[in-house]
Structure 1
Protein backbone atom coordinates (compact mmCIF):
# COMPACT_ATOMS: atom_id res chain seq x y z
CA UNK A 1 0.00 0.00 0.00
CA UNK A 2 2.79 2.42 0.88
CA UNK A 3 4.45 1.91 -2.54
CA UNK A 4 1.21 2.66 -4.38
CA UNK A 5 0.48 5.79 -2.34
CA UNK A 6 4.03 7.12 -2.66
CA UNK A 7 4.15 6.36 -6.40
CA UNK A 8 0.83 8.04 -7.20
CA UNK A 9 1.69 11.10 -5.10
CA UNK A 10 5.10 11.44 -6.80
CA UNK A 11 3.71 11.06 -10.33
CA UNK A 12 0.86 13.54 -9.98
CA UNK A 13 2.82 16.11 -8.00
CA UNK A 14 5.87 16.02 -10.28
CA UNK A 15 3.72 16.71 -13.32
CA UNK A 16 1.67 19.47 -11.69
CA UNK A 17 4.68 21.26 -10.17
CA UNK A 18 7.01 21.16 -13.19
CA UNK A 19 6.19 24.79 -13.99
CA UNK A 20 6.21 26.24 -10.48
CA UNK A 21 9.54 24.63 -9.60
CA UNK A 22 8.36 23.48 -6.17
CA UNK A 23 5.76 21.38 -4.42
CA UNK A 24 7.02 17.82 -4.91
CA UNK A 25 8.93 17.73 -1.62
CA UNK A 26 6.23 19.59 0.28
CA UNK A 27 3.50 17.15 -0.72
CA UNK A 28 5.56 13.94 -0.81
CA UNK A 29 7.21 14.36 2.61
CA UNK A 30 3.95 13.93 4.59
CA UNK A 31 3.23 10.78 2.56
CA UNK A 32 6.60 9.30 3.54
CA UNK A 33 5.95 10.43 7.13
CA UNK A 34 2.91 8.15 7.26
CA UNK A 35 5.27 5.17 7.19
CA UNK A 36 8.65 6.41 8.52
CA UNK A 37 10.03 8.73 11.25
CA UNK A 38 9.89 12.41 10.23
CA UNK A 39 13.68 12.93 9.90
CA UNK A 40 13.89 9.86 7.64
CA UNK A 41 10.82 11.01 5.72
CA UNK A 42 12.54 14.34 5.01
CA UNK A 43 15.71 12.55 3.93
CA UNK A 44 13.83 10.07 1.71
CA UNK A 45 11.88 12.90 0.11
CA UNK A 46 15.15 14.71 -0.55
CA UNK A 47 16.47 11.63 -2.41
CA UNK A 48 13.36 11.46 -4.64
CA UNK A 49 13.50 15.22 -5.10
CA UNK A 50 17.17 15.01 -6.10
CA UNK A 51 16.64 12.11 -8.52
CA UNK A 52 13.70 13.92 -10.13
CA UNK A 53 15.69 17.15 -10.43
CA UNK A 54 18.57 15.27 -12.05
CA UNK A 55 16.11 13.92 -14.62
CA UNK A 56 14.71 17.41 -15.23
CA UNK A 57 18.29 18.73 -15.35
CA UNK A 58 18.88 16.51 -18.36
CA UNK A 59 15.75 17.87 -20.00
CA UNK A 60 16.25 21.58 -19.31
CA UNK A 61 19.85 22.40 -18.27
CA UNK A 62 20.83 23.87 -21.65
CA UNK A 63 18.26 26.65 -21.14
CA UNK A 64 19.42 27.72 -17.66
CA UNK A 65 20.92 31.15 -17.00
CA UNK A 66 24.25 30.13 -15.47
CA UNK A 67 25.08 33.62 -14.23
CA UNK A 68 21.95 33.56 -12.11
CA UNK A 69 22.75 30.01 -11.01
CA UNK A 70 26.18 31.09 -9.76
CA UNK A 71 24.90 34.11 -7.81
CA UNK A 72 21.93 32.26 -6.36
CA UNK A 73 23.00 28.66 -5.84
CA UNK A 74 26.45 28.98 -4.27
CA UNK A 75 25.05 30.83 -1.21
CA UNK A 76 22.09 28.43 -1.22
CA UNK A 77 24.36 25.38 -1.02
CA UNK A 78 26.15 26.55 2.13
CA UNK A 79 22.90 27.67 3.75
CA UNK A 80 21.29 24.29 2.94
CA UNK A 81 24.01 22.48 4.89
CA UNK A 82 23.45 24.80 7.87
CA UNK A 83 19.70 24.26 7.74
CA UNK A 84 20.06 20.50 7.44
CA UNK A 85 22.36 20.43 10.45
CA UNK A 86 19.93 22.52 12.48
CA UNK A 87 17.11 20.08 11.65
CA UNK A 88 18.56 17.57 14.09
CA UNK A 89 18.19 20.17 16.87
CA UNK A 90 14.80 21.56 15.83
CA UNK A 91 13.33 18.06 15.54
CA UNK A 92 13.65 17.69 19.32
CA UNK A 93 11.80 20.93 20.16
CA UNK A 94 8.18 20.74 21.39
CA UNK A 95 5.37 21.72 19.03
CA UNK A 96 3.84 25.18 19.37
CA UNK A 97 0.27 23.96 19.09
CA UNK A 98 -1.74 20.88 18.14
CA UNK A 99 -5.40 20.42 17.30
CA UNK A 100 -7.78 17.69 16.17
CA UNK A 101 -10.08 17.89 13.16
CA UNK A 102 -12.26 14.96 12.10
CA UNK A 103 -10.25 12.62 14.34
CA UNK A 104 -6.97 13.70 12.67
CA UNK A 105 -4.32 15.48 14.75
CA UNK A 106 -2.31 18.35 13.25
CA UNK A 107 0.80 19.90 14.79
CA UNK A 108 2.14 23.42 14.27
CA UNK A 109 5.89 23.75 14.77
CA UNK A 110 8.05 26.87 14.88
CA UNK A 111 9.75 25.91 11.61
CA UNK A 112 6.48 25.37 9.74
CA UNK A 113 4.98 28.60 11.07
CA UNK A 114 7.95 30.74 10.03
CA UNK A 115 8.34 29.17 6.59
CA UNK A 116 4.60 29.27 5.92
CA UNK A 117 4.41 32.97 6.83
CA UNK A 118 7.35 33.82 4.55
CA UNK A 119 5.84 31.90 1.64
CA UNK A 120 2.46 33.63 2.01
CA UNK A 121 4.11 37.07 2.10
CA UNK A 122 6.02 36.34 -1.10
CA UNK A 123 2.89 34.94 -2.74
CA UNK A 124 0.90 38.07 -1.88
CA UNK A 125 3.67 40.26 -3.25
CA UNK A 126 3.81 38.23 -6.45
CA UNK A 127 0.10 38.93 -7.10
CA UNK A 128 0.41 42.65 -6.23
CA UNK A 129 0.48 44.61 -9.54
CA UNK A 130 3.00 47.20 -8.31
CA UNK A 131 5.35 44.45 -7.17
CA UNK A 132 5.04 42.66 -10.53
CA UNK A 133 6.35 45.79 -12.24
CA UNK A 134 9.54 45.70 -10.17
CA UNK A 135 12.74 43.89 -11.03
CA UNK A 136 15.09 42.85 -8.24
CA UNK A 137 18.66 44.02 -8.50
CA UNK A 138 21.07 41.10 -9.04
CA UNK A 139 22.59 41.91 -5.64
CA UNK A 140 19.51 40.38 -3.97
CA UNK A 141 19.98 36.98 -5.61
CA UNK A 142 22.51 35.75 -3.00
CA UNK A 143 20.05 36.67 -0.22
CA UNK A 144 17.34 34.69 -1.99
CA UNK A 145 19.72 31.77 -2.28
CA UNK A 146 20.55 31.88 1.43
CA UNK A 147 16.88 31.98 2.45
CA UNK A 148 15.70 29.22 0.13
CA UNK A 149 18.74 27.03 0.78
CA UNK A 150 18.53 27.35 4.56
CA UNK A 151 14.84 26.54 4.76
CA UNK A 152 15.26 23.81 2.17
CA UNK A 153 17.85 22.10 4.37
CA UNK A 154 15.81 22.67 7.52
CA UNK A 155 12.42 21.44 6.32
CA UNK A 156 12.64 20.38 2.69
CA UNK A 157 10.61 23.44 1.64
CA UNK A 158 12.95 25.51 -0.51
CA UNK A 159 11.20 25.87 -3.85
CA UNK A 160 8.64 28.55 -3.04
CA UNK A 161 11.24 31.05 -1.83
CA UNK A 162 13.55 30.13 -4.71
CA UNK A 163 10.81 30.75 -7.27
CA UNK A 164 9.83 34.05 -5.65
CA UNK A 165 13.32 35.45 -6.24
CA UNK A 166 13.92 33.88 -9.65
CA UNK A 167 10.64 35.27 -10.97
CA UNK A 168 12.20 38.73 -10.54
CA UNK A 169 15.46 37.85 -12.28
CA UNK A 170 14.17 38.84 -15.73
CA UNK A 171 14.15 35.29 -17.10
CA UNK A 172 11.95 33.88 -19.84
CA UNK A 173 9.69 30.97 -18.83
CA UNK A 174 12.10 28.30 -20.11
CA UNK A 175 15.10 29.92 -18.39
CA UNK A 176 13.07 30.38 -15.18
CA UNK A 177 12.15 26.68 -15.05
CA UNK A 178 15.65 25.51 -16.06
CA UNK A 179 17.51 27.82 -13.66
CA UNK A 180 15.30 26.71 -10.80
CA UNK A 181 16.00 23.07 -11.62
CA UNK A 182 19.78 23.57 -11.67
CA UNK A 183 19.66 25.48 -8.40
CA UNK A 184 17.53 22.76 -6.81
CA UNK A 185 20.02 20.06 -7.85
CA UNK A 186 22.89 21.95 -6.23
CA UNK A 187 21.00 22.46 -2.96
CA UNK A 188 19.87 18.82 -2.92
CA UNK A 189 23.46 17.58 -3.22
CA UNK A 190 24.64 19.53 -0.20
CA UNK A 191 21.68 18.84 2.06
CA UNK A 192 21.78 15.12 1.23
CA UNK A 193 25.40 15.02 2.42
CA UNK A 194 24.28 16.26 5.83
CA UNK A 195 21.16 14.08 5.95
CA UNK A 196 23.22 10.98 5.21
CA UNK A 197 25.61 11.76 8.06
CA UNK A 198 23.01 12.85 10.62
CA UNK A 199 19.90 10.76 10.04
CA UNK A 200 20.84 7.66 8.06
CA UNK A 201 23.47 6.70 10.64
CA UNK A 202 21.14 7.09 13.61
CA UNK A 203 18.25 5.29 11.86
CA UNK A 204 20.26 2.78 9.83
CA UNK A 205 18.00 -0.22 10.41
CA UNK A 206 14.88 1.66 9.34
CA UNK A 207 16.64 3.55 6.53
CA UNK A 208 17.27 0.29 4.67
CA UNK A 209 13.51 -0.08 4.33
CA UNK A 210 13.42 3.17 2.34
CA UNK A 211 15.06 1.65 -0.76
CA UNK A 212 11.92 0.40 -2.52
CA UNK A 213 9.72 3.45 -1.71
CA UNK A 214 12.47 5.83 -2.87
CA UNK A 215 12.95 3.93 -6.16
CA UNK A 216 9.22 3.80 -6.86
CA UNK A 217 8.78 7.46 -5.97
CA UNK A 218 11.68 8.48 -8.19
CA UNK A 219 10.50 6.52 -11.24
CA UNK A 220 6.96 7.89 -10.93
CA UNK A 221 8.32 11.42 -10.53
CA UNK A 222 10.31 10.97 -13.77
CA UNK A 223 7.12 10.16 -15.65
CA UNK A 224 5.36 13.21 -14.22
CA UNK A 225 8.30 15.50 -15.09
CA UNK A 226 8.44 14.20 -18.66
CA UNK A 227 4.73 14.91 -19.09
CA UNK A 228 5.20 18.43 -17.70
CA UNK A 229 8.05 19.11 -20.14
CA UNK A 230 5.84 18.13 -23.07
CA UNK A 231 3.33 20.91 -22.36
CA UNK A 232 5.72 23.67 -21.20
CA UNK A 233 5.73 25.33 -24.63
CA UNK A 234 1.94 25.65 -24.54
CA UNK A 235 1.80 28.01 -21.55
CA UNK A 236 2.86 31.63 -21.01
CA UNK A 237 5.09 33.21 -18.36
CA UNK A 238 1.98 34.91 -16.95
CA UNK A 239 0.43 31.48 -16.42
CA UNK A 240 3.60 30.25 -14.74
CA UNK A 241 3.53 33.30 -12.45
CA UNK A 242 -0.09 32.63 -11.46
CA UNK A 243 0.60 28.94 -10.83
CA UNK A 244 3.58 29.79 -8.65
CA UNK A 245 1.69 32.37 -6.59
CA UNK A 246 -1.33 30.11 -6.14
CA UNK A 247 0.80 27.18 -5.07
CA UNK A 248 2.69 29.41 -2.63
CA UNK A 249 -0.56 30.48 -0.95
CA UNK A 250 -1.76 26.89 -0.62
CA UNK A 251 1.53 25.49 0.67
CA UNK A 252 2.21 28.43 2.98
CA UNK A 253 -1.24 28.16 4.53
CA UNK A 254 -0.87 24.40 4.89
CA UNK A 255 2.44 24.79 6.70
CA UNK A 256 1.10 27.42 9.11
CA UNK A 257 -1.92 25.27 9.93
CA UNK A 258 0.19 22.15 10.41
CA UNK A 259 -1.57 20.31 7.58
CA UNK A 260 1.57 19.96 5.45
Structure 2
Protein backbone atom coordinates (compact mmCIF):
# COMPACT_ATOMS: atom_id res chain seq x y z
CA UNK A 1 0.00 0.00 0.00
CA UNK A 2 2.88 2.39 0.65
CA UNK A 3 4.36 1.85 -2.82
CA UNK A 4 7.34 -0.06 -1.50
CA UNK A 5 8.34 -2.60 1.14
CA UNK A 6 8.32 -6.06 -0.45
CA UNK A 7 12.00 -6.02 -1.39
CA UNK A 8 12.95 -4.34 1.88
CA UNK A 9 11.23 -7.05 3.91
CA UNK A 10 12.11 -10.08 1.80
CA UNK A 11 15.81 -9.38 1.22
CA UNK A 12 16.85 -9.84 4.88
CA UNK A 13 14.79 -13.05 4.99
CA UNK A 14 16.40 -14.50 1.86
CA UNK A 15 19.85 -13.50 3.14
CA UNK A 16 19.37 -16.06 5.91
CA UNK A 17 19.48 -18.81 3.26
CA UNK A 18 21.46 -17.33 0.35
CA UNK A 19 24.46 -15.13 -0.34
CA UNK A 20 23.44 -11.45 -0.38
CA UNK A 21 23.83 -11.06 -4.15
CA UNK A 22 21.84 -14.19 -4.91
CA UNK A 23 19.21 -13.07 -2.40
CA UNK A 24 18.85 -9.73 -4.20
CA UNK A 25 18.42 -11.58 -7.50
CA UNK A 26 15.76 -13.97 -6.19
CA UNK A 27 13.84 -11.19 -4.44
CA UNK A 28 13.94 -9.21 -7.71
CA UNK A 29 12.00 -12.01 -9.42
CA UNK A 30 9.34 -11.99 -6.69
CA UNK A 31 9.27 -8.19 -6.74
CA UNK A 32 8.77 -8.02 -10.51
CA UNK A 33 6.07 -10.71 -10.54
CA UNK A 34 4.12 -8.96 -7.80
CA UNK A 35 4.47 -5.56 -9.46
CA UNK A 36 3.05 -6.91 -12.72
CA UNK A 37 0.07 -8.22 -10.76
CA UNK A 38 -0.32 -4.90 -8.94
CA UNK A 39 0.00 -2.97 -12.21
CA UNK A 40 -2.94 -4.91 -13.60
CA UNK A 41 -5.04 -3.67 -10.68
CA UNK A 42 -4.01 0.00 -10.84
CA UNK A 43 -2.81 0.68 -14.40
CA UNK A 44 -5.72 2.96 -15.34
CA UNK A 45 -4.65 5.40 -12.60
CA UNK A 46 -1.11 5.82 -13.97
CA UNK A 47 0.25 9.39 -14.14
CA UNK A 48 2.11 9.45 -17.47
CA UNK A 49 3.71 12.85 -16.91
CA UNK A 50 5.47 11.71 -13.75
CA UNK A 51 6.44 8.43 -15.38
CA UNK A 52 8.27 10.42 -18.05
CA UNK A 53 10.11 12.42 -15.37
CA UNK A 54 11.27 9.33 -13.47
CA UNK A 55 11.20 6.40 -15.88
CA UNK A 56 14.22 6.73 -18.16
CA UNK A 57 16.58 8.00 -15.46
CA UNK A 58 15.46 5.15 -13.15
CA UNK A 59 16.39 2.64 -15.86
CA UNK A 60 19.82 4.28 -16.18
CA UNK A 61 20.34 4.07 -12.43
CA UNK A 62 19.28 0.41 -12.34
CA UNK A 63 21.68 -0.45 -15.17
CA UNK A 64 24.62 1.23 -13.44
CA UNK A 65 23.73 -0.25 -10.05
CA UNK A 66 23.39 -3.78 -11.42
CA UNK A 67 26.79 -3.59 -13.10
CA UNK A 68 28.45 -2.16 -10.00
CA UNK A 69 26.81 -4.54 -7.55
CA UNK A 70 29.89 -6.75 -7.30
CA UNK A 71 32.26 -3.80 -6.83
CA UNK A 72 30.57 -1.34 -4.47
CA UNK A 73 30.77 -1.30 -0.68
CA UNK A 74 27.10 -1.03 0.10
CA UNK A 75 27.13 -0.18 3.82
CA UNK A 76 28.30 3.43 3.44
CA UNK A 77 25.74 4.01 0.70
CA UNK A 78 22.96 2.55 2.83
CA UNK A 79 23.79 4.68 5.88
CA UNK A 80 23.91 7.94 3.89
CA UNK A 81 20.71 7.12 2.08
CA UNK A 82 19.02 6.12 5.32
CA UNK A 83 19.69 9.55 6.81
CA UNK A 84 18.25 11.21 3.70
CA UNK A 85 15.10 9.10 3.88
CA UNK A 86 14.52 10.01 7.52
CA UNK A 87 14.69 13.70 6.60
CA UNK A 88 12.38 13.31 3.60
CA UNK A 89 9.79 11.29 5.48
CA UNK A 90 9.80 13.53 8.57
CA UNK A 91 8.90 16.58 6.47
CA UNK A 92 5.43 15.12 5.84
CA UNK A 93 4.65 15.30 9.57
CA UNK A 94 5.67 18.94 10.05
CA UNK A 95 2.97 21.59 10.67
CA UNK A 96 1.92 23.48 7.50
CA UNK A 97 3.95 26.57 8.44
CA UNK A 98 7.10 24.44 8.44
CA UNK A 99 6.22 22.44 5.34
CA UNK A 100 8.96 21.95 2.78
CA UNK A 101 9.54 19.66 -0.14
CA UNK A 102 12.38 18.85 -2.48
CA UNK A 103 12.53 21.05 -5.59
CA UNK A 104 10.99 19.23 -8.52
CA UNK A 105 14.09 19.99 -10.56
CA UNK A 106 15.81 17.33 -8.42
CA UNK A 107 13.35 14.65 -9.52
CA UNK A 108 15.89 13.10 -11.93
CA UNK A 109 18.22 12.59 -8.96
CA UNK A 110 15.45 10.75 -7.13
CA UNK A 111 14.79 8.57 -10.16
CA UNK A 112 18.47 7.75 -10.59
CA UNK A 113 18.97 6.99 -6.89
CA UNK A 114 15.91 4.74 -6.87
CA UNK A 115 17.23 2.77 -9.84
CA UNK A 116 20.80 2.71 -8.51
CA UNK A 117 19.76 1.43 -5.11
CA UNK A 118 17.51 -1.14 -6.76
CA UNK A 119 20.39 -2.37 -8.88
CA UNK A 120 22.88 -2.57 -6.02
CA UNK A 121 20.76 -3.66 -3.06
CA UNK A 122 17.23 -4.32 -4.29
CA UNK A 123 15.78 -1.68 -1.92
CA UNK A 124 14.57 0.89 -4.42
CA UNK A 125 11.09 1.98 -3.43
CA UNK A 126 11.63 4.21 -0.40
CA UNK A 127 13.51 6.85 -2.41
CA UNK A 128 10.87 6.80 -5.13
CA UNK A 129 8.04 7.09 -2.61
CA UNK A 130 9.76 9.99 -0.84
CA UNK A 131 10.02 11.93 -4.10
CA UNK A 132 6.49 11.09 -5.25
CA UNK A 133 5.14 12.64 -2.06
CA UNK A 134 6.07 15.99 -3.65
CA UNK A 135 3.13 15.58 -6.03
CA UNK A 136 -0.59 15.87 -5.38
CA UNK A 137 -1.36 12.34 -6.53
CA UNK A 138 -4.40 10.32 -5.61
CA UNK A 139 -3.74 7.14 -3.64
CA UNK A 140 -4.36 5.03 -6.73
CA UNK A 141 -2.17 7.18 -9.00
CA UNK A 142 0.63 7.07 -6.43
CA UNK A 143 0.59 3.27 -6.33
CA UNK A 144 0.21 2.87 -10.11
CA UNK A 145 3.04 5.26 -10.94
CA UNK A 146 5.40 3.87 -8.30
CA UNK A 147 4.64 0.34 -9.50
CA UNK A 148 5.37 0.88 -13.18
CA UNK A 149 8.66 2.64 -12.36
CA UNK A 150 9.56 -0.35 -10.19
CA UNK A 151 8.76 -2.66 -13.12
CA UNK A 152 11.09 -0.70 -15.39
CA UNK A 153 13.89 -1.00 -12.84
CA UNK A 154 13.28 -4.74 -12.41
CA UNK A 155 13.22 -5.35 -16.17
CA UNK A 156 16.62 -3.64 -16.36
CA UNK A 157 18.37 -5.36 -13.47
CA UNK A 158 17.05 -8.94 -13.66
CA UNK A 159 18.74 -9.83 -17.01
CA UNK A 160 22.06 -8.53 -15.66
CA UNK A 161 21.72 -10.63 -12.51
CA UNK A 162 20.63 -13.58 -14.63
CA UNK A 163 23.97 -13.65 -16.43
CA UNK A 164 25.69 -14.48 -13.14
CA UNK A 165 23.12 -16.35 -11.07
CA UNK A 166 20.83 -18.15 -13.55
CA UNK A 167 21.62 -21.58 -12.05
CA UNK A 168 20.14 -20.53 -8.69
CA UNK A 169 16.58 -20.44 -10.07
CA UNK A 170 16.56 -24.20 -10.68
CA UNK A 171 17.09 -24.86 -6.96
CA UNK A 172 14.98 -22.02 -5.59
CA UNK A 173 11.83 -22.15 -7.75
CA UNK A 174 9.54 -23.84 -5.14
CA UNK A 175 10.32 -21.07 -2.65
CA UNK A 176 9.92 -18.42 -5.34
CA UNK A 177 6.46 -19.66 -6.31
CA UNK A 178 5.27 -19.77 -2.69
CA UNK A 179 6.65 -16.29 -2.04
CA UNK A 180 5.12 -14.85 -5.21
CA UNK A 181 1.67 -16.24 -4.33
CA UNK A 182 1.96 -14.80 -0.82
CA UNK A 183 2.92 -11.43 -2.31
CA UNK A 184 -0.16 -11.53 -4.57
CA UNK A 185 -2.36 -12.07 -1.51
CA UNK A 186 -0.68 -9.15 0.24
CA UNK A 187 -1.34 -6.93 -2.78
CA UNK A 188 -5.06 -7.79 -2.76
CA UNK A 189 -5.25 -6.97 0.95
CA UNK A 190 -3.40 -3.70 0.32
CA UNK A 191 -5.84 -2.77 -2.46
CA UNK A 192 -8.75 -3.34 -0.08
CA UNK A 193 -7.13 -1.13 2.57
CA UNK A 194 -6.48 1.56 -0.04
CA UNK A 195 -10.21 1.82 -0.67
CA UNK A 196 -11.02 2.57 2.98
CA UNK A 197 -8.22 4.92 4.15
CA UNK A 198 -8.20 8.69 3.58
CA UNK A 199 -5.60 10.44 1.41
CA UNK A 200 -4.09 12.13 4.47
CA UNK A 201 -3.76 8.83 6.29
CA UNK A 202 -2.27 7.24 3.18
CA UNK A 203 0.39 9.95 2.91
CA UNK A 204 1.25 9.54 6.59
CA UNK A 205 1.56 5.77 6.16
CA UNK A 206 3.95 6.30 3.24
CA UNK A 207 5.99 8.95 5.07
CA UNK A 208 6.11 6.87 8.24
CA UNK A 209 7.28 3.86 6.25
CA UNK A 210 10.00 5.98 4.63
CA UNK A 211 11.22 7.10 8.08
CA UNK A 212 11.24 3.55 9.47
CA UNK A 213 13.18 2.20 6.48
CA UNK A 214 15.58 5.15 6.67
CA UNK A 215 16.33 4.54 10.35
CA UNK A 216 16.83 0.83 9.71
CA UNK A 217 19.22 1.56 6.83
CA UNK A 218 21.17 4.19 8.79
CA UNK A 219 21.59 1.71 11.65
CA UNK A 220 22.63 -1.03 9.19
CA UNK A 221 19.68 -3.20 10.21
CA UNK A 222 18.68 -3.88 6.59
Report the TM-score, using the length of structure 1 for normalisation.
0.79
Q: TM-score, normalised by structure 2?
A: 0.92
| 2:207 maps to 1:245 | yes
Residue 217 (1) aligns with residue 179 (2): yes
Which has more radius of gyration? 1
Matched, 1:171 2:153: no
Matched residues, number: 222
Shift of 1:148: 1.1
Whole-Å separation in 1 of the counterparts to 2:142 and 2:98: 15
Q: Which residue of 2 aligns with 1:145?
A: 111
**Which residue does 1:35 correspond to in 2?**
17
1:115–1:151 Cα contact (<8 Å) kept? no
- Residue in 1 that maps onto 2:69: 87
Residues 27 and 171 of structure 1, relative CA distance in 2, 3 Å threshold: same
Gaps of 5+ in 2: none
Residue in 2 that maps onto 1:192: 158
Contact 1:135–1:169 (CA under 8 A) maintained in structure 2: no
Instruction: Tell me how far apart the structure 2 counterparts of residues 173 and 66 of structure 1 sit (CA, whole Å).
Output: 15
Q: Which moved more, 1:225-234 or 1:118-127?
A: 118-127
1:113: how far off?
1.3
Note closer, same or farther for the CA distance 1:173–1:131 as it changes in structure 2 (3 Å cut): farther
Aligned to 1:183: 149
Gaps of 5+ in 1: 1-18, 96-108
2:76 corresponding residue in structure 1: 110
Map of 1:233 onto structure 2:
195
Query: Equivalents in 1 of 2:191, 2:24: separation in Å?
Result: 26
Residue 8 of structure 2 is aligned with which of 2, 6, 26? 26
- Measured after TM superposition, the shift of residue 185 of structure 1 is 0.9
**1: CA distance between counterparts of 2:98 and 2:181?**
37
